[in-house]
Amino acid sequence: MPNAFETPQDAEDAFYDAFEEGNIEAMMTAWAARDDIICIQPMRRQAIGRQGVREAWEEVFSSGARLAVEVHHQHWSESGDCAIHIVLEQLTLNGDASNRPPPILATNLYRNYGDGWLLVLHHASPPPPPPGMVQGMPPQAGIQVPVMPQR
Amino acid sequence: MPNAFETPQDAEDAFYDAFEEGNIEAMMTAWAARDDIICIQPMRRQAIGRQGVREAWEEVFSSGARLAVEVHHQHWSESGDCAIHIVLEQLTLNGDASNRPPPILATNLYRNYGDGWLLVLHHASPPPPPPGMVQGMPPQAGIQVPVMPQR
């Protein structure tokens, strides 16, 4: 069972340290020991529960790529036993600064169930496109929904 | 000030009803009266606080498009004063069933601050691509991050 953390930020540090290390056991210590934890990686369906979340990260880590993650906080709020961090994640792959995908926008939700803070939700999604980029939604819709990249 | 709802689902119904109606005042009744509410529309940056969230929805509604939203629940959890709903939102534009963008995957977080439930976070993002689609990330990364649609 994971030991809870003193602050939401401590849980977040454990999460991103494990992400960078590609360490699945360390990753799982950041998450609450609950069947209702949720992880949504960019352009993926939700992974639910400890086993689902573990498998999602095992798949990420299975490539063996060396990932560095710069975390840029966009917004924090904490109220009662619930803390929300909105972050931009800037990945660097295999130490190659020229190979940096667009930053990922993520919501991290932490709860304190009485003995400290743990991650319960990570929803990561593609970032806004660069200014001036046209997105793939009928213009009358008013909502911008990207089309899938055509490959 | 919004009146809180008896259940998270009541707040969610108010949110999607207002979405379909394009009614900004009704939309804002679904949200908590707090400076730390967060709305992330697909491929957009976060909107924070009641004014920011209002402006984000005013922009969506300004097109005048008639939107129908089918909401498909993927996962629910509720613990203490915090409820999380993961949903797929299937939009139909102007009643044209042939003009349906890919469904949007959204996290809705509701809180009960003592007098009922209100929406505090909406994070909506592009859906997974259809099976077999290759995504735009260096394959060694192991993480799928979409490239921006090239237009």
- Backbone torsions φ then ψ of A31, nearest 5 degrees: -100, 145
Which range (A5-14, A29-38, A90-99, B80-89) has the least confidence?
Answer: A90-99
- Backbone torsions φ then ψ of A49, nearest 5 degrees: 80, 165
In chain B the beta strands, taken as DSSP E runs, fall at: 38-40, 47-48, 67-79, 82-93, 104-112, 117-125
Q: Decide if A63 and B109 are in contact by the 8 Å CB cutoff.
A: no
Residue A147 to residue B95: CA distance in whole angstroms? 20
Joined together, the tokens standing for residue A116 give 């400290």
Per-residue pLDDT, A146:
39
Using 50, 70 and 90 to split pLDDT, how confident is the model at A127?
Answer: confident
Per-residue pLDDT, A131:
62
Strand-pair category, A38-40 with B67-79: unpaired
Cβ–Cβ contact A146 with B under 8 A: yes
Which residue is it, tokens 């209702």?
A: A36
Size of interface A-B (CB pairs under 8 A): 213
Residue A5 to residue A25: CA distance in whole angstroms? 16
Q: What is the CA radius of gyration of chain A?
A: 16
Residue B87 to residue B103: CA distance in whole angstroms? 10
Residue B5 to residue A106: CA distance in whole angstroms? 28
Using 50, 70 and 90 to split pLDDT, how confident is the model at A1?
Answer: low
CA distance B90 to chain A (A): 11
Which residue is it, tokens 């993926």?
A: A44
Instruction: List, as ranges, residues 22-61 from B with C-beta within 8 Å of A.
Output: 36, 38, 40-46, 48, 59-61
Average pLDDT of the segment spanning B22-34? 97
Nearest to A46 among B86, B140, B147 (CB): B86
Report the predicted TM-score, pTM, of the whole model to 2 decimal places. 0.86
Per-residue pLDDT, B141:
37
Per-residue pLDDT, B132:
56
Kindly tell me the burial class for residue B60, based on how many C-beta atoms sit within 10 Å of its own C-beta (0-12, 13-18, 19 or more).
buried
Cα–Cα distances in angstroms (integers) from residue B131 to residues A19, A43, B49, B125, B140, in the given order:
26, 12, 37, 18, 20
What is the separation of C-alpha B75 from the centre of its chain, rounded to a whole number of angstroms?
14
Coil, helix or strand for A71? strand
Residue A91 to residue B140: CA distance in whole angstroms? 13
Which residues in A lie closer than 8 A to residue B65 (C-beta atoms)?
140-142
Instruction: List, as ranges, residues 62-121 from A with C-beta within 8 Å of B.
Output: 62-65, 67, 74-75, 77, 79-82, 84, 86, 91, 93-94, 99, 101-102, 104-105, 107, 109, 111, 113, 120-121
Q: Indicate the residue type of A15.
A: F
Q: How many CB atoms lie within 10 A of CB A72?
A: 10
Which domains does chain B show, CATH number per domain?
8-129 (3.10.450.50)
Residue B107, CB half-sphere, CA atoms under 13 Å: how many?
32
Let me know: does B33 contact B53? Beta carbons within 8 Å: no
Which residue is it, tokens 């966009």?
A: A74
Coil, helix or strand for A101? coil
